[in-house]
Amino acid sequence: MCRNIKTLFNFEPPATEDEIHASALQFVRKLSGFNKPSQANQAAFERAVADVSEAARRLLTSLHTHAPARDREVEAGKARERSRLRFG
């Protein structure tokens, strides 16, 4: 499950709210062991996703680098090539 969490820092264009939320959702799913929580745990699960999203947003806006921003298409191409080499 964690392999679905993508690096969000130092990309052009910057990470979207949807990308931040998706990574927070994957993180909370991994920690909790729930893909979809029961009704009894739904509120706690959603609160955790919101909290992790906010923490990730704060982190991304506070990080600084001198490295040039990475291109999403180039990085996606590299990932496809790694996958092709690994799985054929």
Q: What is the pLDDT of residues 2-60, one digit of tens each?
A: 566 788 999 988 999 999 999 999 999 999 999 999 999 999 999 999 999 999 999 99
Residues contacting 2, CB < 8 A, separation 6+? 26, 27, 30
Q: What is the pLDDT of residue 55?
A: 97
pLDDT at 2: 54
pLDDT for 1 equals 45
Q: Tell me: pLDDT of 86 over 60.
A: yes
Q: Are the C-beta atoms of 25 and 48 separated by less than 8 Å?
A: no
Q: How far apart are CA 48 and CA 42, in angstroms?
A: 10
**pTM for the structure as a whole:** 0.81
pLDDT, position 4 = 63
Distance CA(65)–CA(46), nearest Å, equals 32
